[in-house]
Structure 1
Amino acid sequence: MSSSQFRQPKAALYRFVTVLAILASPLAQGANPEQFQQCVSDLEHKAIAEGVSENVANTVLAQVEYLERVIELDRRQPEFTTTFADYLNRRVNARRILQGRLLLRQHHDLLQRVTRETGVPPAYLLAFWGLETNFGSYFGKMSVPSSLATLACDPRRSRFFTNQLIAALKIIDEGAISADQMEGSWAGAMGHVQFMPTVFLQHAVDADGDGRRNLWNSLPDALMSAGKFLQSMGWNPDYRWGREVLLPADFDYGLADGGKRPLSEWRELGLTDAFGKPLADAPIDAALIVPAGHQGPAFLAYHNFKVIMGWNRSEFYAIAVGHLADRIAGAGGLQNPPPEDAPALSRDTIKSLQLTLNERGYNAGEPDGILGPGTRRAIRQFQSAHELTADGYPDQALFEALGLETWTQ
């Protein structure tokens, strides 16, 4: 019997225990109406204590409902991880690029105004807008007060969502939008650019001069607010987000986790631009990102890449924003697109991989089914020790070398 046949039940056990923990939550089993109402009453007192008017706190919270669907979505873990190719191709496609280019012309004056005031170029503003709501075509249909009250009364992330709920009540209190019109995602993200309520309070602006900060019905307010938010996180108008690069054949992929280096050092290490030309001699630091392993594209990420991740902590998201912005601005596709036949690995498969690496002495951390930096580091160490391409990316050669028979279950 193969070693993988022993390890797969261990990975499955983690999933089983997680499911039991979720089901053990009273709210996961179906909220007790009295418990929910008591929680909402407590939230009302807290909101008033933090400056929400009694009228808004009383009126809005008297109408919130417990949304079981919100808890289901909060608990949902995807069965399979998303490949970089699938993620990028779904978000940066021909239709979205074309629409972005049309909107670039249609909203030229507004976009130029936002760029003048914030330093964020038009194509990036459109890229965020496109990824967040497909250029305003879908904001979400959940009642934001009810969603946030449901999540605030759930123990998993109660403090975070309590703060979001109070911020949402303050937005209603200031007259930005009425409670019945405040719709958004299941987690409370709102409007054209999907701001969470606390981000709205800090960074939303009234750009059209009507006396309200309206991210649902005012595109000037929404795009200027997006620009102000990025500006507040340190957007550098002198540089782009990053760029695709080519790596030399003998490249040490361990450098991909080595942090930022001056562009001149990357040149000395043999990196070129995507067309094989020398990198520019610019005084800027960059980090190397290889999101799909040695067979996929490589990117040098500049300071603005980190700013994009301040909006969303996903590297895939940040690359998609940057690449969509490039395409809207007129650039072509990737010179080395990610392989589309790479399978989506299940979380159980990744847990099994992590368990096996740990057993072999390569520290992948607590098996959690997430392919994070620690797991990639362990993979790379194993690959290097077994004369495989040490890119930290799980492929069939890695699974075979580890004696795991299945890698695409």
Structure 2
Amino acid sequence: MRILKILSIAAALAVGGGGLQAAETEKLYVECGGSFSGFVAKMKAQAEAMTYPPQVTDPFFGAANYLQRTINADRRQGIFNTDFIDFSRKLIAQYRLDKGRQNAQKYDAIFSRIEQELGVPRGILLSFWAFETDFGAFTGDFNTLDTLMTLSHDCRRPELFQPQVFAALELYARGQFSVNQQGAWAGEVGQVQMLPMDIMQRGYDGDGDGTVDLDNSVADSLFSGANMLRSFGWRPNEPWMQEVVVPDSMPWEESGVQPEDYRPVEEWAAWGVRPRSGSWQGPDLEAALMLPMGHEGPAFIIYPNYQALFEWNQSFVYVATAAYFATRLEGAPVYDPGNAPARLSDAEMKALQRKLVARGHDVGEVDGILGAGTRAAVQAEQERLGLPADAWPTRELLNRL
């Protein structure tokens, strides 16, 4: 499910006197494309230049195969082309709510330790655990080595995946990775879906047995997930989201989920924004107003911890849903769906993106996905045209453009 955002490794990572001394993200080690066998040979040569011995590189790279189904999965992420209401209703099934609450009780001691030691609440961990692998029920059936090598060979994003191959090689040299390892289509493994570089930096021995087993140990998985969130900037014991009610007179152009959209909670309150239930969870914090489907749909105040979730996954709709599900698991009511206009069709979204590009906006790829660039462009054009600048694309906006 994850859309990748991989951070740089600053620490040295070494095996004995040689091996991987430093792995950098967004680094192209060898030229992508060409024959796969030739690519494998170049990656192997690069590993040997990094002083990995043949007894490590021969079996590791000798086991690598091209995996077309990985490429197919990479090109097929249509689940993210949906809106928040449809996406959240699809993912937050009753069995996930029930199973989440059962696991909160079953592993209460583990969650309590994490909350005390790392300050990450159980709702957030349960949410990602649920969405990534259905609480460990299915961790993936793609060969991880094949997947990482295939995506490294593919010229779409090789700079993201080639460093992961060498991180996997490092783990293999340490006896902590198997060429038969199974995982997700993008190379993540284990119950909370971590990439090899994540495991090296943030893997956490939660059960104290001297190893980090993300496939079989719930404690290791949950502690590692919490440790990863902490490294992404999670602030201990602070809220992340709560549903709010907004007045019709709200200056909608002030809404958004980027860091520059945050302001003191008291300013939102002065505009008439109020919690839908209970009191403000972070009255002394800065917060942003998130309108996942515009000013007529659900409304949420998000706190600084929400930004850390974007380091886990880059999909707006995924993060919004995961954050909301976490609040449900911690007792929040079902959100008010409001009366948001229907999402544009894929063809309409692409047409809108092309019109935005023609007006000089950077929306990234014209792919029909309502990403950060498209939202910013929509909001700017709404404000220019005198429409409610809530970043939700409508047919009226499409027609006006």
Partner of residue 234, structure 1? 233
| C-alpha contact (below 8 Å) 2:289/2:300 kept by paired residues | yes
| C-alpha contact (below 8 Å) 1:264/1:281 kept by paired residues | no
* Change over 3 Å in CA distance of 1:362–1:161 after alignment to 2: closer
Shift of 1:294: 1.6
Partner of residue 122, structure 2? 122
Which of 260, 263, 281 is residue 261 of structure 1 equivalent to? 263
* Change over 3 Å in CA distance of 1:60–1:378 after alignment to 2: closer
Whole-Å separation in 2 of the counterparts to 1:127 and 1:378? 30
Shift of 1:172: 2.3
* Change over 3 Å in CA distance of 1:53–1:309 after alignment to 2: farther
Greater CA deviation, 188-197 or 151-160? 151-160
Partner of residue 204, structure 2? 205
Whole-Å separation in 1 of the counterparts to 2:338 and 2:175? 47
- Provide the secondary structure at the position in 1 that maps to 2:268: helix
| Structure 1, unpaired ranges of 5+ | 1-25, 403-409
| C-alpha contact (below 8 Å) 1:82/1:344 kept by paired residues | no
* Change over 3 Å in CA distance of 1:318–1:218 after alignment to 2: same
Whole-Å separation in 2 of the counterparts to 1:80 and 1:232? 26
One-letter code of the match for 1:190?
A: V
Shift of 1:171: 1.8
Partner of residue 306, structure 1? 307
**Kindly, what percent of the aligned residue pairs are identical?**
33
* Change over 3 Å in CA distance of 1:230–1:366 after alignment to 2: closer
| C-alpha contact (below 8 Å) 1:292/1:338 kept by paired residues | no
Q: TM-score, normalised by structure 1?
A: 0.81
Greater CA deviation, 310-319 or 194-203? 310-319
Whole-Å separation in 1 of the counterparts to 2:307 and 2:80? 26
Greater CA deviation, 370-379 or 106-115? 370-379
| C-alpha contact (below 8 Å) 2:293/2:340 kept by paired residues | no
- Provide the secondary structure at the position in 2 that maps to 1:206: coil
Kindly indicate whether residue 370 of structure 2 is the aligned counterpart of residue 368 of structure 1. Answer: no
Shift of 1:55: 2.1
One-letter code of the match for 2:264?
A: P
Shift of 1:112: 1.2
Partner of residue 156, structure 1? 156
| C-alpha contact (below 8 Å) 2:341/2:394 kept by paired residues | no
| C-alpha contact (below 8 Å) 2:145/2:179 kept by paired residues | yes
* Change over 3 Å in CA distance of 1:343–1:316 after alignment to 2: closer
| C-alpha contact (below 8 Å) 2:115/2:121 kept by paired residues | yes
Residues 14-33 of structure 1, C-alpha deviations (whole Å, 9 max, x = no match) = xxxxxxxxxxxx96xxxx7x
Whole-Å separation in 1 of the counterparts to 2:338 and 2:48? 52
Whole-Å separation in 1 of the counterparts to 2:160 and 2:361? 32
Residues 296-347 of structure 1, C-alpha deviations (whole Å, 9 max, x = no match) = 111111111011111112232222222222222222211x22658824520x
Shift of 1:214: 1.1
Residues 75-118 of structure 1, C-alpha deviations (whole Å, 9 max, x = no match) = 33639821111211122222111110000111111111222221
Greater CA deviation, 75-84 or 40-49? 75-84
| C-alpha contact (below 8 Å) 1:52/1:166 kept by paired residues | no
Residues 5-57 of structure 1, C-alpha deviations (whole Å, 9 max, x = no match) = xxxxxxxxxxxxxxxxxxxxx96xxxx7xx21121122122223436453232
Greater CA deviation, 118-127 or 393-402? 393-402
Partner of residue 270, structure 1? 272
Partner of residue 132, structure 2? 132
* Change over 3 Å in CA distance of 1:40–1:337 after alignment to 2: same
Shift of 1:377: 4.2
- Provide the secondary structure at the position in 2 that maps to 1:244: strand
| Structure 2, unpaired ranges of 5+ | 1-31
Whole-Å separation in 1 of the counterparts to 2:208 and 2:280? 44
Residues 30-179 of structure 1 aligned to structure 2 (within 5 Å): 35-50=35-50, 52-76=52-76, 78=78, 81-179=81-179
Partner of residue 4, structure 1? none
One-letter code of the match for 2:353?
A: Q
RMSD (Å), alpha carbons: 2.6
One-letter code of the match for 1:318?
A: V
Shift of 1:203: 0.5
Residues 340-355 of structure 1 aligned to structure 2 (within 5 Å): 342-343=342-343, 345-346=345-346, 348-355=347-354
* Change over 3 Å in CA distance of 1:218–1:177 after alignment to 2: farther
User: Which protein has the bigger helix share?
Assistant: 1
* Change over 3 Å in CA distance of 1:354–1:314 after alignment to 2: closer
- Provide the secondary structure at the position in 2 that maps to 1:105: helix
Greater CA deviation, 385-394 or 185-194? 385-394
Whole-Å separation in 1 of the counterparts to 2:393 and 2:171? 46
Residues 249-278 of structure 1, C-alpha deviations (whole Å, 9 max, x = no match) = 111110014511011111111111114x77
| C-alpha contact (below 8 Å) 1:364/1:374 kept by paired residues | yes
Kindly indicate whether residue 314 of structure 2 is the aligned counterpart of residue 330 of structure 1. Answer: no
- Provide the secondary structure at the position in 2 that maps to 1:165: helix
* Change over 3 Å in CA distance of 1:375–1:325 after alignment to 2: closer
Whole-Å separation in 1 of the counterparts to 2:218 and 2:194? 14
Q: TM-score, normalised by structure 2?
A: 0.83
Whole-Å separation in 1 of the counterparts to 2:210 and 2:281? 46
Whole-Å separation in 2 of the counterparts to 1:340 and 1:185? 34
